[in-house]
Structure 1
Amino acid sequence: MATRTPAPQARDKLAFLLSFVPYLMDIERVSVADAAAHFGVPAEQIRQSVRLIAVSGVPGETTSYQHEDLFDIDWTAFEEHDEIALTHQVAIDDSPRFSAREAAALIAGLQYLSALPGQNDRAVLDSLLLKLSRGASGVPSEVLVGRAVVDSSLDEIRAALTDGRRIEFVYLNSRGEREVRSVDPLRIESVDEDWYVRGWDHARRGVRTFRLDRLSELRTTDIPITKTPADVALPETLFEGSDEDLAVLIEVEADSVPLIAEYIAPDTQPVPHGSRVRVELRLAHYHGLKRLVASLPGVVQVLEPDEARDAVAEWSRQALERYGEASSVS
């Protein structure tokens, strides 16, 4: 004996309509068959709901329903082609909307998110970007966030981390020396556009942090990892000091000290010097110092040692030369 599908109750119908109306407003035009498949309901229920929506709305100032107070559909498309398209919408126009500036800021953030490696839900993000653009109170400013160039080794390290396999690679250390490392990957993290892998270094018998663009000849071994995040204490901060770190004395605006807090040497306090302060930093290499200075233009001044000052000055000189070359070409 065939079983009958129970008819939806009033509460179920209301919940369905609360989902169905925004769906129609967002998709603009859809066939009855596609809408039924999307919600997993019979096609006839979709048709009944459309007819109900067409006589629904919000009363105007006169508290009576005028034509402009009701939803309307493309009746020709509905009756002759079994397609649904709203031609007049109500109620939703009174809902709060993002300003054009707010929408532009959210769009920029979503573009950055969609550019991150391993982001597989790009279709969902693209749909949300479209909704933000159409749903703002004004036209958002055109914003384009460049995609970060991420080392191709990131996917392989992520796979090794998932599979619990040891990795080996050649690493360029802070002294410019290349060393072969054997590491149990524990965590992948990023700072701005730089990506790092933290892992258990078997040669040094401790946790080390490696920047992806400084490693090469990466390969995933068949050796299972012997250390997991549960076995070792991973510090909250990405960068941990070591005996090989370089000490650099800088002068910086006092209110900018929190921006460089992770680089300040342990047990070191900023010393006032006029309207600014002097503080010692600990860095793995001068390349990191150059990036730090560039991220805070006019705020940080390198004082000691001379090698650090020379490294930043030479890097700045090369940047100015490239800028001059680009200007002459344009």
Structure 2
Amino acid sequence: MTPRTPGARDKLAFLLSLVPYLLDRRQSTVAEAAAHFDVAEEQVRQSVRLIAVSGVPGESSQYQHNDLFDIDWDAFEERDEIIITHLVAIDDSPRFSSREAAALIAGLQYLSALPEQADRDVVGGLMAKLTRGASEAPIQVAVERGSTDGTLADIREAVASERQIEFTYINARDERERRRVDPLRIDSLDQNWYVRAWCHLRGGVRTFRLDRMSDVRVIDAEITHRAADVTLPDTLFQTSDDDVSVIVDIAKDAVPLIDEYIASTKPGKDPARVTATLRLAHIASLGRLIVGLPGQARVLDPPEARDRIAHWASRALSRYENDRPQPRDAAHS
């Protein structure tokens, strides 16, 4: 089929598309570009010649040599290859630093590893563009598969097939219980994954953290409660009359990390800190929360909570001392 003759608007649209195409490919033949855009090869050649006399005028409002795009003319005229050798305006656009690009690439690697992420080619292409577009080579990073990845895949399957699941759960009091639930929804918060489900043991909706679940098994039983049948609050954690109130002094920057637990805040003596009231289901869960904010949070009240954190820190220090290698002389004394 003979490509149609483009109008002025089509030519402009093609020209605006051709430049990023060439920058992304770094090198292309006229035939490849024509096939990609479904245009005549001569139109590609005309557009390339137009690109070569395009640019942005300098401070004098006149075009100098460095204000124009340039191509490898020998490659273009002798081998029909298109290679842009000088960019204008585009080179001046803000670029990600190597650390910023590495952080984004790490996030994309994590997304690519999720069970439901099927279009990995798109993610891979975006990672490649970030690598090329950074101000310097990004720091090499790799996202390791988490210990809950298999559990997450099983629960997603159960949610999709509306099947019940059974598992052993370690609650905030470090007690192990066997649970059977109707999984309703999977959520993530910070670095943790949660499943909201109707718990047959408790007779109500409960939130379970995946890294506290073990021996997960999808059973051949249809769920008895669906998401449309129960009320799922917008937040993962809900307060109740049985909750424990804990007052902490915390850095302002750390507040978003535990926002789900905060009932109220007020300014602290230090402008960079606030006094926050936390609502917790069990005082036993305070240790894990505070230890995740090293140097940023300090428990003020009640005394039971302060004692709990002191005991937690004492146990951790004791284990560190016991695990530390002994000096050679002491080992043989």
TM-score under structure 1 length normalisation? 0.75
Q: Distance in 2 between the 1:46 and 1:64 partners?
A: 27
The match for 1:252 is 249
1:29 is displaced (CA, Å) by 1.1
Check whether the contact 1:171–1:214 (CA below 8 A) recurs between aligned residues.
yes
2:189 paired residue number: 191
Q: CA RMSD in A?
A: 4.1
Q: Is the Cα–Cα contact under 8 Å of residues 96 and 133 in structure 2 kept in the other structure?
A: no
- Confirm or deny that 1:289 pairs with 2:286: yes
Counterpart contact for 2:169–2:176, Cα < 8 Å? yes
Q: Is residue 316 of structure 2 the alignment partner of residue 308 of structure 1?
A: no
In the superposition, relative to structure 1, how do residues 244 and 58 fare at CA in structure 2: closer, same or farther (>3 Å)?
A: closer
Shift of 1:160: 2.4
1:186-244: CA deviation from partner (whole Å, max 9, x where unpaired)? 22122222211111223333211111112122222344434333332211221234688
Residues 104, 143 of structure 1: 8 Å contact kept? no
SS in structure 2 opposite 1:300? strand
Q: 1:35 to 1:244 in 2, by over 3 A?
A: farther
Q: Percent identity at matched positions?
A: 48
Aligned to 1:77: 75
Name the CA distance, whole Å, in 2 between partners of 1:31 and 1:22: 15
Q: Which amino acid aligns with 2:290?
A: V
Change in Cα spacing, 1:296 to 1:20, as seen in structure 2 (3 Å) is: same
CA contact (8 A) 1:200 1:208 kept: yes
Residue number in structure 2 paired with 1:50: 48
Task: Tell me if 1:112 matches 2:107.
Answer: yes
CA distance in 2, matches of 1:69, 1:96: 15
Aligned to 2:169: 171
Distance 1:273 1:56, change over 3 A: closer
Shift of 1:20: 0.9
1:153 aligns with 2:151: yes
CA contact (8 A) 2:55 2:67 kept: yes
Q: 1:318 Cα shift?
A: 4.8
CA distance in 1, matches of 2:101, 2:237: 30
Which letter maps to 1:195?
W
The answer for unaligned runs of 5 or more in structure 1 is none
Opposite residue 316 of structure 1, the aligned amino acid is: A
Structure 2 residues not aligned, in runs of 5+: 329-333
User: What corresponds to 1:97 in structure 2?
Assistant: 94
Aligned-residue offset at 1:13: 1.3
Moved more, 63-72 or 3-12: 63-72
| Deviates further, 28-37 or 53-62 | 53-62
Q: Distance in 2 between matches of 1:222 and 1:120?
A: 27
CA contact (8 A) 2:163 2:218 kept: yes
Q: 1:249 deviation in Å?
A: 4.1
Tell me what 2:331 maps to: none
The residue aligned with 1:25 is 23
Moved more, 7-16 or 57-66: 57-66
SS at match of 1:112: helix
Secondary structure in 2 matching 1:304: helix
Q: Which amino acid aligns with 2:249?
A: V
User: Contact 2:280–2:286 at 8 Å: present in 1 too?
Assistant: no
Distance 1:135 1:258 in 2: 31
Match in the other structure for 1:87: 85
Contact 1:71 1:88 in 2 (8 A): yes
Distance change >3 Å, CA 191–CA 134, structure 1 → 2: same
Deviation at 1:18, TM superposition (A): 0.6
Q: Quick one: which amino acid aligns to residue 232 of structure 1?
A: V
The 5-angstrom pairing of residues 131-280 of structure 1 reads 131-132=129-130, 134-135=132-133, 138-139=135-136, 142=139, 144=141, 147=144, 149-151=146-148, 152-241=150-239, 247=244, 249-253=246-250, 260-264=258-262, 279=277
Amino acid at match of 1:208: R
* Counterparts of 1:33 and 1:87, CA distance in 2: 20
1:157 and 1:169 map into 2 onto residues whose CA distance is 11
- Deviation, 1:34, is 3.5
Q: Identify which range, 176-185 or 249-258, moves more after superposition.
A: 249-258
Determine if contact 1:172/1:179 at 8 Å carries over to the other structure. Answer: yes
